[in-house]
Amino acid sequence: MTAGAIADEFPSVSRPATSKHLRILREAGLVSAQQRGREWHYALDPAMLAEIQRTWMDAFVPMFDASLERLRRQTEASASATMRTTSAGGAG
């Protein structure tokens, strides 16, 4: 996709600002750029995006796991308490 086509997708952002953002993304390795004549053509680098996703998920998965474990314990405790209450009420 050309820089102009990308800029057209963001009409509220100036073309110089779009160019600056594209340069930063290119320097970060998130996009690749190839000059064809006077135009620059940009493409996302899926490998780099996948690496960012893995890194982000690695940071949060332990928190998700801990939250799910707490939810499991609370649910089991609540179910156990409900069963005890139901059993005690049926005995009278």
- For the chain, the straight-line distance linking the first and the last C-alpha, in angstroms and rounded, comes to 75
Provide the whole-model pTM. Answer: 0.57
Structure tokens belonging to residue 2: 């050309």
Digit-coded pLDDT (tens) for 4-52: 999 999 999 999 999 999 999 999 999 999 999 999 999 999 998 898 8
Say if CB 20 and CB 35 are below 8 A apart: no
Digit-coded pLDDT (tens) for 77-89: 988 888 887 777 6
